[in-house]
Amino acid sequence: MAKKTGRGTLTAAGGKLDIVVELNGKDVAMRVAPGEYLLDALRREGYKGTKRGCDNGDCGTCTVLLDGKPVLSCMMFAAQAHRRQVTTIEGLGAPDRPHPIQQAFVEAGAVQCGFCIPGMVLATKALLDEEPDPDERAVRRALDGNLCRCTGYVKQVEAALLAARKLKAAKGGR
Ligand code: FES
Ligand code: FES
C-alpha cells in the first residue's frame, strides 16, 4: 500500500511504514511502526547518542535537529521525519575529530556524566547556526529545555559562548 504525503510517497508493508530520512547527510531507509517515536527508531538504528531521559518531553536529552531546528525525538513520530533532514550527535563529530562545539564543551569543563551533552550540543548548534554571536541571555534561552542533573549550568553556558568564539575564529572573524 502507498500513501501520498506532502513529502513523497509513504509505502506500508505488514502494518509498518517504509520511510527515508536524510540522516546526518545520508539517505537512510527505515521500516517503522506508525506509532513509533523517532527516538526509538534512531536508537534501534544504532544512533545511541540520542539519549532517553524522561521519555516525556521534559528533559531535552533526546534532542535532535529536524531541518536544522531542535526537536524532542521522544515526542515526534518517526514517520514525521520522512524525507526530512535529521541530525544526531553522530552527525557532528567523533572522539578523534570533534566538532568545535563539542571541543568547546570539553574545554569549558561542561561535561560531567555526559548524558545531557548530545542534546545540549545540538541545541547550541541550532542557536549558533541562526545567531553566530549570541549573548549569555540568548544562550540560556536556547538551552532552557535541556536539563542537567550534574552541573549548575554555568559551564554549559560558558561552553556555548566559547563555541561561538571558536566558530567565528574558524571563519576568520575575531
Ligand atoms: S527524553 Fe525526550 S524530552 Fe526527555
Ligand atoms: S553532565 Fe550529567 S546530566 Fe549533564
Choose one of 56, 115, 122 to mutate for the ligand 1 pocket test, by most ligand atoms within 8 angstroms of C-beta. Answer: 56
Same domain, 87 and 108: no
Same domain, 40 and 67: yes
Q: Residue 119: which residues within 8 A CB-CB, separation 6 or more? A: 51, 59, 60, 61, 62, 63, 146
Residue 62 lies in a domain: yes
Q: The CATH number of the domain where 130 resides is what?
A: 1.10.150.120
Q: Assess whether the C-beta atom of 151 lies below 6 angstroms from ligand 2.
A: yes
Same domain, 137 and 156: yes
Atom from ligand 1 closest to the CA of residue 60: 3
Query: What's residue 9's pLDDT?
Result: 62
Q: The CATH number of the domain where 56 resides is what?
A: 3.10.20.30
Residue ID of nearest Cα to ligand 2 atom 3: 148
Same domain, 80 and 105: no
Among 91, 115, 147, the domain boundary falls at 91
Among 67, 91, 115, the domain boundary falls at 91
Nearest to 122 by CA among 101, 139, 136: 101
Q: How far, in Å, CA of 35 to CA of 88, rounded?
A: 21
Q: How far, in Å, CA of 115 to CA of 136, rounded?
A: 23
Residue 174 lies in a domain: no
Enter the pTM of the model. Answer: 0.93
Pairing mode, strands 16-23 and 85-87: parallel
Same domain, 9 and 75: yes
Q: Residue 123: which residues within 8 A CB-CB, separation 6 or more? A: 60, 63, 70, 142, 143, 145, 146
How many A from CA of 105 to the centre of ligand 2? 12
For residue 65, give Cα distances in angstroms to 4, 88, 137.
Answer: 24, 7, 21
Residue 173 lies in a domain: no
Beta-strand ranges (E) seen in 61-163 are 63-66, 69-72, 85-87
Q: Which domain holds residue 21?
A: 2-91
Do residues 162 and 141 lie in contact, with contact meaning Cβ atoms separated by under 8 Å?
no
Q: Which residues pair with 97 in a beta bridge?
A: 94
Same domain, 105 and 86: no
Same domain, 109 and 30: no
| Residue written as grid cell 536524510 | 22
Q: Which residue has the higher pLDDT, 7 or 102?
A: 102
Given a cut of 80, whether residue 85 has pLDDT beyond it is: yes
Name residue 26's amino acid: K
Residue ID of nearest Cα to ligand 1 atom 3: 57
Number of structural domains found in the chain: 2
Nearest to 123 by CA among 72, 167, 56: 72
Same domain, 86 and 144: no
Same domain, 111 and 157: yes
- pLDDT averaged over every residue in the chain: 94
Given a cut of 80, whether residue 151 has pLDDT beyond it is: yes
Same domain, 87 and 104: no
Average pLDDT over residues 90-102: 94
Among 68, 91, 114, the domain boundary falls at 91
Query: What's residue 29's pLDDT?
Result: 97
How many A from CA of 169 to the centre of ligand 1? 33
Residue 117 lies in a domain: yes
Query: What's residue 4's pLDDT?
Result: 61
Given a cut of 90, whether residue 128 has pLDDT beyond it is: yes
Atom from ligand 2 closest to the CA of residue 110: 1
Same domain, 85 and 105: no
How many A from CA of 47 to the centre of ligand 2? 19
Given a cut of 80, whether residue 46 has pLDDT beyond it is: yes
